[in-house]
Amino acid sequence: MIPIKSLSEIERMRAACRAAAEVMRAVAALIQPGRTTKELDDAAAELIRKRGGKSPFLGYKGYPGNICVSVNDEVVHGIPSKRRVQYGDIVSLDVGIVLDGFVGDNATTVAAGAVPVRVQELLEVTQDALRAGIAAAQAGNRVGDISHAVQTTVEARGFSVVREFVGHGVGREMHEEPQIPNFGSAHTGPKLKPGMTLAIEPMINLGTHAVRMLSDGWTVVTADGSPSAHYEHTVLVTEGDAEILTWLETTPYESKAR
Ligand code: MF3
Ligand code: CO
């Protein structure tokens, strides 16, 4: 059963997602060489608290952070630590908030300084893939249309799609139906309907798609050590184009139309 949100639930989703985007913007602005990933987590915790919200990640299956901070070859679920961001790192932030009973979820990847051209392309293709996925999130389309749009965008440029982690419905719970893989066939899967709220989140590797889990039981890294990028928005399916609930007109590090 894929929840369809009522108008009042949609208003609450808008508020939660706006808050998640605001916290993301503020934490992303703190990324710079010398900062520890724990300092980013502490800042996020305070920003979430000030808005009257809670982190949906903290304590989820025992996860110890308020946000996820994944550096370079770390794909997702990097645990905030004493690790310092270095010049030339790429840093993926995954930030969620529960506000008034609803979850907003978003992720972005920021380069801390100049990076090799192919790494810059990795960030661009992952944003392009997210944009293509959102464009496919139209009522009457199917989940597989989102998956297919993401996968073809990425593979056309020689990058690879992580298989083990997927996007998801989001609302009263952080993870609702449907699962939204970043690979798959068009015209397959559940039909999209107005009122569905979806977290679309391509996780894209510069090398092969294979990943492994570190011994901390959370941090997912690329098997070949290549860099990985992650962008995520929570969107509302409507009768027309999806509404990007975690979009802020002033969101840095990402351009809506390029
Ligand atoms: N945004 C991530 C997701 O959609 C958050 C999960 S991190 C966890 O799954 F620690 F909470 F698992
Ligand atoms: Co998510």
Token couple for 65: 């952070």
Q: Backbone phi, then psi, for 37, in 5-degree steps?
A: -70, -25
Q: What is the structure's pLDDT at 114? A: 98
- 201 Cα nearest atom in ligand 1: 4
Using CB distances shorter than 6 Å, the residues near ligand 1 are 57, 60, 63, 68, 77, 94, 96, 105, 168, 199
* In a domain? residue 1: no
CA–centroid distance, residue 199 to ligand 1 (Å): 11
Residue 35 has what DSSP assignment?
Answer: -
- Which of 34, 70, 27 shows the shortest CA–CA distance to 50? 27
The answer, as to whether pTM is greater than 0.85, is yes
* In a domain? residue 115: yes
Q: What is the structure's pLDDT at 149? A: 99
Instruction: Please state, in angstroms and as integers, the Cα–Cα distance from residue 132 to each residue in 16, 18, 94, 95, 201, following that order.
Output: 24, 22, 20, 22, 11
Q: How many CA atoms lie within 13 A of 148 on its CB side?
A: 12
- 165 Cα nearest atom in ligand 1: 9
Phi-psi region of 117 (alpha: psi -120 to 50; beta: other; left: phi over 0): alpha
Atom 5 (ligand 1): residue with closest C-alpha? 57
* In a domain? residue 251: no
Walk along the chain (258 residues) in steps of 10 and give the mean pLDDT of each run: 98 98 98 98 98 98 98 98 98 98 98 98 98 98 99 98 98 98 98 98 98 98 98 98 92 50
DSSP E strands: which ranges in 148-195?
Answer: 160-161, 167-169, 176-180
Can you give the CATH number for the domain in which 24 is found? 3.90.230.10
- Domain containing 100: what range? 7-244
Q: What is the structure's pLDDT at 252? A: 56
CA–centroid distance, residue 57 to ligand 1 (Å): 6
Q: What is the structure's pLDDT at 125? A: 98
* In a domain? residue 66: yes
DSSP E strands: which ranges in 48-115?
Answer: 68-71, 74-76, 89-99, 102-112
* In a domain? residue 116: yes
Q: Count of CB atoms within 10 A of residue 113's CB?
A: 12
- 94 Cα nearest atom in ligand 1: 1
Residues within 5 Å of ion ligand 2 by Cβ?
Answer: 105, 199
CA–centroid distance, residue 205 to ligand 2 (Å): 17
Q: What is the structure's pLDDT at 249? A: 80
* In a domain? residue 253: no
* In a domain? residue 101: yes
Atom 11 (ligand 1): residue with closest C-alpha? 57
The number of domains in the chain is: 1
* In a domain? residue 254: no
DSSP E strands: which ranges in 113-240?
Answer: 160-161, 167-169, 176-180, 197-200, 203-205, 211-213, 220-222, 228-230, 233-236
CA–centroid distance, residue 117 to ligand 1 (Å): 29
CA–centroid distance, residue 50 to ligand 2 (Å): 22
